[in-house]
């Protein structure tokens, strides 16, 4: 059982970077409590129509694989090598230069060589060579090839579920090998024989049943958004409308469900509602497309496609012109990198144009979906918002570039532009830990669960150390980000490594500063925390 006792930070930071005494192929996987995730339950596999639903756990000796499991995996590998050119390329072209080796946060935090991206890929490549290359078939181990065995499958499971598909390593690879794509293939193959984790299949199954990861029914969504509107009225004196399933609205707004249902995401949701009210946006939430996140990305291409389709089906049903997307992480990787080929083109929607500023979002011409930080930065640049940054004077802020918006979209400037206009105390973390080189929270791609807690803290350690740096140097007490998973996982990470720093969304910060028409004298921020007193020359 994974009844792990998590080491204290001063114990966990004692990392041994020595390789094991045995060669990597002969070093068996150790399912140490605290470092792996529970298996997907049979109930959820049935909902998703996935193969081999059964009761099992990774620590079991017998994984209850189908009799012909090896044939299924090798056939699956052959199909994917033919279908995805990138997969074959990534299996063939690595020159083992080692440039990626020390770039993975899981390697930095664990010292386990199999968490070096080059070796993580080798887990799959060694099998590829054995069955799909002439040299591997003839020379076996001499050519870096090995047989596919149950132990190899267990090793895949352990290490492909210790990769958050963050793509940091690919930034440093001279050949552009994308380890996230390799991990996705590894997970796809594991899924063919029913080896998956519940923290991925349950949110996906919930999405199928109810439209969102948390399995909330439409009535629950309505109630929660109304509660949030009550809180806004309490803080600002302004009552905002919550449009739901409104046919003919101009814009469909899709956010991660974590923003409706869990702190600190709910404060970000307050920010969305306040902003839309203030600018008079004709928009709607949907109870069907009530989830921006797409856990299919952590399972298979087919599942990505199935889950993404509902957003566009709902846009069509409601007759909106275009889609605005909230502060979500992997939703944007799907939209930016896969949407067009999987579900597109969305020709039935219009090229997005801001009804407030007239700005045409040409970058969204094809997907018809605009990121909220692009939308809001444009409002600020066009002088459409009244902001009082002094209201955030009690906060000293740093910004975590969430992996997917950063590396999949290049969305670096817009969130920073908003932060700089909404607050006066903003401090960047060290250059090598931000923008395209940003360090992962350690809990994405379905790994943000409790049984995997030690590995999350290890994987998140490099990010936490960069926050600690600005916490100690500049007194930073707030970590802003634009991803719902980050808001959740970074909160535990900060509690563990950097107590005193809490996490927020960028639109929470914006809404603290937003001067609303008809608002009462604001004495607290959205969390109800008192604002800092102003000196006379700071009074607006």
Cβ nearer to ligand SF4, comparing 169 with 485 = 169
Instruction: For residue 533, give both structure tokens.
Output: 């007193």
The answer to whether residue 87 forms part of the interface with ligand SF4 (CB under 6 A) is no
Q: Are 165 and 132 in contact (CB under 8 A)?
A: no
| List of residues 6+ apart from 452 with CB closer than 8 A | 2, 34, 35, 36, 37, 199
Torsion from C-alpha of 32, 38, 42, 45, nearest 10 degrees: -120
In total, the chain counts a number of residues equal to: 540
Which residue matches tokens 């598909």? 165
Smallest gap from Cβ 104 to ligand SF4, in A, equals 3
The residue from 64, 83, 96, 239 that contacts ligand SF4 (CB under 6 A) is 96
Q: Where are the alpha helices (DSSP H) in 243-371?
A: 258-261, 265-279, 301-318, 330-333, 339-342
Maximum pairwise Cα distance, the chain: 82
Of the candidates 181, 169, 185, 171, the one whose C-alpha atom is nearest the C-alpha of residue 116 is 169
Q: Which window, 158-166, 192-200, 272-280, 447-455, contacts ligand SF4 (CB under 6 A)? A: 158-166
The answer to whether residue 196 forms part of the interface with ligand SF4 (CB under 6 A) is no
Total residues in contact with ligand SF4, by rule CB under 6 A: 27
Neighbours of 21 (CB within 10 A): 7
3-class secondary structure per residue, 16-38: CCCCCCCCHHHCCCCCCCCCCCC
Cβ nearer to ligand SF4, comparing 165 with 250 = 165
Smallest gap from Cβ 170 to ligand SF4, in A, equals 7
Smallest gap from Cβ 261 to ligand SF4, in A, equals 27
Cβ nearer to ligand SF4, comparing 166 with 232 = 166
Q: Are 140 and 146 in contact (CB under 8 A)?
A: yes
Smallest gap from Cβ 463 to ligand SF4, in A, equals 12
Burial track 371-405 (b if 16+ CB lie within 10 A, e otherwise) = bbbbbbbbbbeeeebebbbbbbbbbbbbbbbbbbb
Distance CA 295, CA 167 (A): 17
Neighbours of 85 (CB within 10 A): 9
The answer to whether residue 180 forms part of the interface with ligand SF4 (CB under 6 A) is yes
Residue 298 is given by DSSP the state G
Q: Are 196 and 36 in contact (CB under 8 A)?
A: no
Q: Between residue 392 and residue 421, which ones bind ligand SF4 under the rule CB under 6 A? A: none
Contact string 504-533 vs ligand SF4 (x = CB under 6 A):
------------------------------
The answer to whether residue 114 forms part of the interface with ligand SF4 (CB under 6 A) is no
Smallest gap from Cβ 180 to ligand SF4, in A, equals 5
CA 82 to chain centre: 29
The answer to whether residue 84 forms part of the interface with ligand SF4 (CB under 6 A) is no
The residue from 122, 165, 327, 525 that contacts ligand SF4 (CB under 6 A) is 165
The answer to whether residue 164 forms part of the interface with ligand SF4 (CB under 6 A) is yes
The residue from 97, 150, 313, 350 that contacts ligand SF4 (CB under 6 A) is 97
Q: Which window, 34-42, 88-96, 206-214, 414-422, contacts ligand SF4 (CB under 6 A)? A: 88-96
Cβ nearer to ligand SF4, comparing 419 with 441 = 441
The answer to whether residue 167 forms part of the interface with ligand SF4 (CB under 6 A) is yes
The answer to whether residue 118 forms part of the interface with ligand SF4 (CB under 6 A) is yes
Q: Which window, 78-86, 89-97, 215-223, 239-247, contacts ligand SF4 (CB under 6 A)? A: 89-97
Smallest gap from Cβ 102 to ligand SF4, in A, equals 10
Torsion from C-alpha of 533, 534, 536, 539, nearest 10 degrees: -120
The answer to whether residue 175 forms part of the interface with ligand SF4 (CB under 6 A) is yes
Q: Between residue 441 and residue 480, which ones bind ligand SF4 under the rule CB under 6 A? A: none
Distance CA 210, CA 73 (A): 32
Rg of the chain (C-alpha set): 24
The answer to whether residue 173 forms part of the interface with ligand SF4 (CB under 6 A) is yes
Cβ nearer to ligand SF4, comparing 107 with 496 = 107
The answer to whether residue 100 forms part of the interface with ligand SF4 (CB under 6 A) is yes
The residue from 20, 51, 98, 499 that contacts ligand SF4 (CB under 6 A) is 98
| List of residues 6+ apart from 531 with CB closer than 8 A | 391, 393, 394, 522, 523, 524, 525
Instruction: For residue 470, give both structure tokens.
Output: 């600005």
Which residue matches tokens 């939308």? 375
Distance CA 35, CA 380 (A): 44
The answer to whether residue 99 forms part of the interface with ligand SF4 (CB under 6 A) is yes
Burial environment of residue 317 by CB neighbours within 10 A (0 to 12, 13 to 18, 19 or more) = middle
Smallest gap from Cβ 345 to ligand SF4, in A, equals 29
Cβ nearer to ligand SF4, comparing 25 with 515 = 25
The residue from 120, 306, 368, 463 that contacts ligand SF4 (CB under 6 A) is 120
Smallest gap from Cβ 238 to ligand SF4, in A, equals 42
Task: Give the interface with ligand SF4 as residue ranges (CB under 6 A).
Answer: 94-100, 103-104, 106, 117-118, 120, 163-169, 173, 175, 177, 179-180, 183, 440
């Amino acid at each position: 059982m994974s009844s792990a006792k998590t080491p204290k930070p001063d114990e966990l930071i004692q990392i041994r970077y020595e390789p094991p005494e045995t060669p990597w192929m002969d070093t068996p996987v150790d399912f140490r409590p605290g470092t792996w995730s529970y298996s997907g339950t049979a109930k959820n596999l049935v909902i998703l129509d996935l193969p081999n639903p059964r009761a099992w756990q990774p620590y079991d000796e017998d994984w209850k694989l189908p009799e012909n499991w090896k044939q299924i995996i090798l056939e699956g590998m052959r199909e994917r090598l033919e279908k995805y050119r990138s997969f074959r390329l990534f299996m063939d072209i690595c020159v083992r230069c080692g440039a990626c080796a020390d770039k993975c946060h899981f390697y930095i935090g664990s010292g386990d060589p199999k968490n070096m991206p080059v070796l993580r890929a080798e887990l799959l490549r060694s099998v590829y060579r054995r069955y799909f290359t002439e040299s591997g078939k003839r020379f076996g181990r001499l050519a870096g090839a090995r047989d596919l065995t149950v132990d190899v499958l267990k090793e895949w499971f352990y290490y492909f579920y210790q990769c958050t598909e963050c793509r940091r390593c690919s930034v440093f690879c001279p050949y552009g090998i994308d380890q996230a794509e390799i991990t996705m293939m590894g997970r796809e193959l594991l899924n063919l024989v029913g080896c998956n984790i519940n923290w991925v299949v349950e949110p996906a199954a919930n999405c199928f049943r109810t439209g969102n990861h948390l399995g909330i029914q439409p009535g629950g969504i309505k109630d929660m958004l109304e509660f949030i509107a009550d809180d806004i009225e309490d803080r600002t004196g302004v009552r905002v409308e919550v449009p739901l399933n409104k046919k003919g609205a101009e814009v469909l707004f899709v956010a991660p469900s974590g923003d409706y249902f869990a702190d600190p995401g709910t404060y970000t949701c307050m920010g969305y509602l306040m902003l839309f009210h203030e600018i008079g946006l004709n928009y709607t939430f949907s109870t069907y497309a009530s989830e921006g996140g797409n856990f299919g990305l952590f399972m298979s291409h087919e599942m990505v496609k199935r889950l993404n389709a509902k957003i566009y089906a709902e846009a069509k049903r409601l007759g909106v012109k275009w889609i605005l997307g909230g502060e979500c992480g992997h939703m944007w990787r799907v939209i930016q990198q896969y949407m067009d080929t999987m579900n597109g083109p969305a020709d039935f929607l219009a090229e997005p144009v801001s009804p407030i500023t007239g700005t045409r979002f040409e970058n969204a011409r094809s997907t018809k979906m605009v990121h909220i930080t692009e939308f809001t930065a444009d409002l600020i640049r066009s002088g459409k918002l009244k902001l009082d940054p002094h209201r955030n004077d009690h906060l000293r802020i740093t910004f975590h570039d969430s992996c997917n918006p950063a590396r999949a979209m290049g969305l670096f400037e817009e969130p920073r532009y908003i932060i700089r206009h909404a607050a006066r105390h903003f401090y960047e973390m060290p250059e090598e830990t931000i923008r395209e080189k940003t360090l992962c929270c350690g809990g994405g791609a379905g790994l943000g669960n409790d049984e995997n807690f030690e590995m999350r803290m290890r994987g998140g350690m490099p990010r936490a150390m960069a926050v600690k740096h600005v916490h100690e140097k500049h007194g930073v007490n707030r970590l802003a980000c634009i991803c719902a998973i980050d808001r959740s996982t970074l909160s535990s990470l900060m509690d563990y490594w950097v107590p005193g720093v809490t996490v927020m969304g960028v639109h929470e910060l914006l809404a603290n500063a937003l001067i609303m028409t008809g608002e009462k004298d604001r004495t607290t921020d959205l969390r109800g925390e008192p604002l800092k007193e102003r000196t006379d020359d700071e009074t607006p």
